[in-house]
Structure 1
Amino acid sequence: MQACDTLMYSEAHEAADVVARQFAANDEIVTVLAHSLRAHPPRFIITCARGSSDHAAAYAKYVFETQLGIVTASASPSVTSVYAAEQRWQDALFIAISQSGKSPDLVRNAQAAKIAGARVIALVNVEDSPLAAIADTVIPLHAGPERSVAATKSYIAALAAVLHLCARWRGDTELAEALHVLPDALRSGWDADWSSLSEGLEDAHNLFVVGRGFGLGIALEAALKFKETCGLHAEAFSAAEVKHGPMALVGPNFPVLCFAQDDDTLEGTLALADMFRQRGAHVWVAAPGQKGKGSLPVMAGLPALCTPLLIIQSFYRATAELSLRRGFNPDVPPHLNKVTETV
């Protein structure tokens, strides 16, 4: 089997079409919602998700806090679903993110959010799901059926939905223009050569994935995908936090994968990558415009908020290849199911 024969590969390859379809289908919904949110701004934003969807929520936190100036926090689903603790969410915006919309704990949290006085939005791929039925507004991901256990196109679709909502809510014309070209950028970036990563990690046992700001969510997502599809122990860290203890593990030939976007975090992340190299670590850097040993190509020219989508798509392709190199099937990770029904 080759990587191109896997569902993970083919579904990640569909991401550009998914994003284009989503933007076109959702624009009226998102525009109306954004107008309402501008007229009645929430006091704060709560996200609720698990797994890859929670990594999309981590991205949303940085997008909403930097672009809208609204505090955004992640709800711990068990606080409501297990402990049944009453929450004070009056006039909050509650955003639930899910591919299936079936996880019982997310459904219970959305119900509790409505009771607590929050406005509930669901970013969900299955439009007739229990979660969607509860929401005040549904933003469909329009990813289509996703058969690989490893989420790819639905994750990118969730990031795109966050971008779309932010652009309309803020009235950001530059970001809105970027959304028009993002699908083509994803198509162009699909053929980026990340083979040095899939080749270099074939015999690895552990690694760090580092990101900051908009890139932290995809670092979390990459670490998860290494575990579930490649049997490779990976931990994600913020570039601002990794030096506070985890750095002690980094020595000669220790693998480190750094994600960066062209914003105020870029210089610090590149400096950190150099520090790792000085310790003899094997370092890869995915950032727009970077060249040289260990550099993984990423298209430049789009706003920094868009870069994580380009990076994670290239990562998914490389990971499908790495999984096969390590003797795994990326579509059927051991002991995992597509829908995890946490209560």
Structure 2
Amino acid sequence: MFREAGEAAGAVRRLLDREQDAIAAAAELVANAAGPITTAARGSSDHAVTTFKYVCETMLGRPVASIGPSIASVYHAALKLEGGVHLTVSQSGASPDIVALQETAARGGARTVAIVNVADSPLARAADLVLPIHAGDENSVAATKSFIASCAALQAILAGATNDARLKTALHALPDALDALQPASTDGLANLLAETSSLYVSGRGPVLGIALEAALKAKETAGIHAEAFSTAELMHGPLQLVQPGFPVVVFVAEDAGLDGTLDAIQRLRDVGGRVVPVSTLDLPDGIRTPATGHPVTDTLVFVLAWYRAIESATRLRGLDPDRPANLRKVTETM
């Protein structure tokens, strides 16, 4: 897991170097879609889609709907998606339920885009457009470099759809920022995670997808019960569980949600929470990550910091992060 997470920068470089034509074609579909933009994914890939949803809605003004694969594979529903674009994100491209949903979306009138690591997969072969992420072999059960590369592919599509020069520049700066993250910077967080049995992870807007991914990794590698919430949602019912010493990791992006997130951090500390911010900013008791030049791409450096911390914490807890007892790499669901 540690080694593969460290290969994420190379994957992003390959993606941006080799797939400009596919990225441009997908961007044109998204920008000009006459119908709805829909998505399908499972696990870590679904967290990448969550980040895409927020960025698409805030930067392009286009709502994004996530469709549960069981709509097609179990309930056999017909979908009305005329003029739409349906994006599926999958490391393996092999799970029957997402393949079935892509077929249903196509029958319903949508153009289909498969964002996959395995370019010769059932999902890719059936799609109108394939965007390989070039992450290479990923043997650890925990997805790391494939998650980061999938997010980068989705962000590149939106950079093209919006013609946002700042985001395009930041994407090309992303690999260097990933490489610049110092492994030792996450040691303190790793030690904290190794000692806890439960925690919250939080982020607002595009960072929510990163928080969801972090919580999943805590569960599947270290066996820690972790829940992810929007920073705004955390201020409601979930705040009641924040007792003195309760760990809360907050991913803090330098975007329009910054002031509200900083206020939430103070509120969490006021009730006794042990808060660790992860940000490009130098925040008290936090981890400062290298900046890419855009808050959207900065989130992918945040998640690399988390991968390193949780991988180390898992080993400190006497577990093997590469081989969780109850999981396997490819899960085929219906």
Q: TM-score range by the shorter chain?
A: over 0.9
Name the structure 2 match of 1:212.
Answer: 204
Name the structure 2 match of 1:322.
Answer: 313
Which residue identity does 2:12 align to in structure 1? Answer: V
Contact 1:298 1:310 in 2 (8 A): yes
Cα gap change, 1:229/1:112 in structure 2, threshold over 3 Å: closer, same or farther? same
**Separation (CA, whole Å) in 2 of partners of 1:320 and 1:29:** 33
Secondary structure in structure 1 of the residue aligned to 2:320: coil
Whether 1:14 aligns to 2:7 is yes
Cα gap change, 1:300/1:162 in structure 2, threshold over 3 Å: closer, same or farther? same
Q: Normalization by structure 2: what TM-score?
A: 0.97
**Separation (CA, whole Å) in 1 of partners of 2:129 and 2:175:** 25
From 137, 142, 149, give the equivalent of 1:145: 137
In the TM superposition, residue 284 of structure 1 has moved relative to its aligned partner by 0.3
Identical counterparts, % of pairs: 45
**Separation (CA, whole Å) in 2 of partners of 1:245 and 1:144:** 42
**Range that drifts further, 228-237 or 41-50:** 41-50
Whether 1:58 aligns to 2:12 is no
Name the structure 2 match of 1:285.
Answer: 277
**Separation (CA, whole Å) in 2 of partners of 1:213 and 1:98:** 22
Contact 1:13 1:190 in 2 (8 A): no
In the TM superposition, residue 36 of structure 1 has moved relative to its aligned partner by 4.9
Name the structure 2 match of 1:129.
Answer: 121
**Separation (CA, whole Å) in 2 of partners of 1:192 and 1:170:** 37
CA deviation map 1:297-332 (0-9, x unaligned): 122351111111010011111111000011110000
Cα gap change, 1:211/1:340 in structure 2, threshold over 3 Å: closer, same or farther? same
**Separation (CA, whole Å) in 1 of partners of 2:182 and 2:42:** 27
Name the structure 2 match of 1:297.
Answer: 288
Which residue identity does 1:18 align to in structure 2? Answer: A
Contact 2:30 2:37 in 1 (8 A): no
**Separation (CA, whole Å) in 2 of partners of 1:42 and 1:240:** 33
**Separation (CA, whole Å) in 1 of partners of 2:222 and 2:37:** 35
From 288, 294, 303, give the equivalent of 1:312: 303
**Separation (CA, whole Å) in 1 of partners of 2:29 and 2:312:** 45
**Separation (CA, whole Å) in 1 of partners of 2:58 and 2:207:** 13
Structure 1 stretches of at least 4 aligned residues deviating more than 6 Å after TM superposition = none
Cα gap change, 1:228/1:37 in structure 2, threshold over 3 Å: closer, same or farther? closer
Contact 1:98 1:123 in 2 (8 A): yes
Which residue identity does 1:289 align to in structure 2? Answer: L
Contact 1:14 1:153 in 2 (8 A): yes
**Range that drifts further, 126-135 or 163-172:** 163-172
In the TM superposition, residue 201 of structure 1 has moved relative to its aligned partner by 2.0
Which residue identity does 2:203 align to in structure 1? Answer: G
In the TM superposition, residue 37 of structure 1 has moved relative to its aligned partner by 4.5
**Separation (CA, whole Å) in 2 of partners of 1:248 and 1:32:** 47
Which residue identity does 1:28 align to in structure 2? Answer: D
**Structure 1 alignment gaps of length 5 or more:** 1-7
**Separation (CA, whole Å) in 2 of partners of 1:227 and 1:145:** 23
Whether 1:332 aligns to 2:323 is yes
Name the structure 2 match of 1:102.
Answer: 94
CA deviation map 1:248-268 (0-9, x unaligned): 111111111101100111111
Structure 2 matches for 1:1-343, cutoff 5 A?
Answer: 8-38=1-31, 40-191=32-183, 193-292=185-284, 294-300=285-291, 302-343=293-334
CA deviation map 1:263-290 (0-9, x unaligned): 1111111111111111111110011112
Secondary structure in structure 1 of the residue aligned to 2:65: strand
Secondary structure in structure 1 of the residue aligned to 2:161: helix
**Structure 2 alignment gaps of length 5 or more:** none
Q: Normalization by structure 1: what TM-score?
A: 0.95
Contact 2:215 2:228 in 1 (8 A): yes
Which residue identity does 2:14 align to in structure 1? Answer: R
